[in-house]
Structure formats: structure tokens, C-alpha cells
Structure 1
Amino acid sequence: MNVIAFLKSPFQTTRSLWRIGQTVLGIIFRHPITGTSIIPLLSDGKIVLIRRRDDGLWALPGGMVDWGEDIPTTVRRELLEETGLELIKIRRLVGVYSAPDRDPRIHSICVVVEAEVQGTMEIHDTSEVLEIKAFYPSSIPQEPMSHDHYRQLQDYLSGLTTLA
């Protein structure tokens, strides 16, 4: 398109740009996003949970994998941001959860791991986290929990490795 045609038809140009934008957004957002949930274990056997700011519910710490990160790096970063705790080691894969409705915001694939952690619980990301608390497995809050975290915890406590 030449400059004169561009100046004469800004509506058509805007509409073309909108179509290109829709195509790009469709490519980006029509694919699931990869994230993590972490089941952080303290040395006394307690499991650390966070209370989310957006829905007020208890949840596992975790979040989306950033560009250029692998899952262990994401686990380490999210633990520190949301709980102030340091990752000692990832003990095991608990499961991969991919149901399109598992996260009300987006279609995400969640890799859930059990992690040995240490340090002092402290909220670093106040925009996401209201509260941090450690629970013995027998006193984990019941449903409702955020997203599908109650199921993830139940699978973990049952010793399962889940692909769902």
C-alpha cells in the first residue's frame, strides 16, 4: 500500500492492523501456558501454603514459567517471590495437570513438584500473596482452595503421580 492510499483510508488500515493483531494474539493465547505449583516441605514436615490476594483462597505457591526458564528455575524463583523460602531440592514430580478449566484465568499446564525448602517465611510479592502459613498434612485447609490445588495436594498426600 502506498502512502497516499494509506492516508486516504485510515479505517481500512486500522482494520487490517486489527486483523493482524487478532491473528498474533490468537497464536499466542490459543496455546496453553506452562506453570508450576510447588508443594514446599519444611524440615518439620509442614507444607507451606499461601493465601492468594485475587481470590482470598489458600493455594500452593507457584506461577508461570518465564521465557528462557526451565521448571527448576521457575520453582526456585516462585518460591522466593511468594514465600521467601529457599529451594534445597526438588524431591519428586507429583503430576502434570492440563484440564482447560483448571485455572479460571487461562488454559495452563501445571507441573507440580514436591520441594524441600528452608528459610524464613516472608511475603516478597504483596500484589499476589496475602498470607503464608505452614500446615501439618493432617490440618491442610479443606476445599475450596484456589484453582485445582486441593486435588494436587490430595494426589500428593495419596502418593500418586498424576497426569490429568
Structure 2
Amino acid sequence: MPKTDYLNDPRAPKANSLVVAVTVFVQDDVGRVLLIRRSDNRLWALPGGAQDLGESTAQAARREVEEETGLHVELTGVSGIYSDPGHVIAYDDGEVRQELAICLRARPIGGALRTSDESSEVKWVEPETIEELPIHPSMLLRIRHGLKDDTPYLG
């Protein structure tokens, strides 16, 4: 389902749903960041997605990382909480969502990198090269906060 992200864009459609979502900032032992190239918009992003009914935020985070990357992770903390009403995501089915996104920190503990229906590429990226990739500003903000490794962002 193709999507378009809008950030503080006066031409953005009005949100018609609020969705709880997770993103996961995964770093390996040498400091590289796990990124996926999303199949729906071709942009690079942290793994993540909507939390399903009947699962906890932690379960959703581990599930999304495994589904999109093939890796198993151990969650280690909270990087930030993102709820900016100026960031909306429009889907081709008419849904326009505002997300309450919780970004968790994690480290890999198993599995093997692979793509999925949601990720056309998966790779470890050196922090100094991240900004060279096509990444939506809302996702880049989460990555920058993850790289700071300090007090969780609340916004």
C-alpha cells in the first residue's frame, strides 16, 4: 500500500485516524545502524510499523524488526516518543494517519539479514553516511535522536 509522508506541509490532507506505531533503533557492536529501504515509498527508515491489537509495544517492536529484517533483537530502552500532529501519513486507500510512534533502542541477538515484502533492502549503515541516503525528515529526526544516546525525546 503506497504511502506519502507529510511534515508541516500546508497541502497535507487532514488526518482521519490515530495509530500507535513502533520504530526500532538497532545498533550493532561497532555502532552501525540497521536500516531498511521501504517497499512502499522507496525511502530508508528504521524498522517498524503499527502495533497490533493483543500485543504489547515491546512485542510489536521485536515482531516488526524480525518481519522486516530477519534479525532478532533485545530491547534496551526508549529513544523517543513522536506524536507531532504536523506529521501525517496518507495511504492510497484513503487513510491519513497521525501516529503515536514509540522509538525503542535494541541490539541484535540473532537471525540473519534478509528482505521482506515491506523491505526491498536491509543493511547496516555507518552513522556518518546515514544523511547521504534518501530518508524522510521525520525518520531522520528519530535516527539523530537514537545516535545521541541520551534522555529520550518527547515530542
Using the size of structure 2 for normalisation, the TM-score is 0.78
Which 4+ runs in 1 deviate beyond 4 A?
Answer: none
CA distance in 1, matches of 2:113, 2:70: 5
What does residue range 70-149 of structure 1 map to in structure 2 within 5 Å? 70-87=56-73, 89-105=74-90, 106-118=97-109, 119-123=111-115, 125-126=116-117, 128-142=118-132, 144-146=134-136, 148-149=138-139
Q: CA deviation at 1:129?
A: 1.1
CA distance in 1, matches of 2:88, 2:136: 9
Q: CA deviation at 1:40?
A: 1.2
Bigger fraction of residues in helix = 1
The one-letter amino acid of 1:62's match is G
CA distance in 1, matches of 2:70, 2:47: 11
User: Any idea what the Cα deviations from partners look like across 1:24-49, whole Å, max 9, x if unmatched?
Assistant: xxxxx855210001011223321110
Which residue in the other structure is 1:155 paired with?
A: 145
Report SS of the residue matched to 1:108.
strand
Unpaired segments of 5 or more residues in structure 2? 1-14, 91-96
Report SS of the residue matched to 1:32.
strand
The one-letter amino acid of 1:107's match is Q
Aligned-residue CA RMSD (Å): 1.9
Using the size of structure 1 for normalisation, the TM-score is 0.74
Report SS of the residue matched to 1:67.
coil
Larger Rg: 1
Bigger fraction of residues in strand = 2
Q: CA deviation at 1:101?
A: 3.3
Higher relative contact order (CA 8 A, sep 6+): 2
The one-letter amino acid of 2:99's match is S
Q: CA deviation at 1:160?
A: 4.2
Q: Check 1:112–1:49 CA distance in 2 against 1; reply closer, same or farther (3 A cut).
A: same
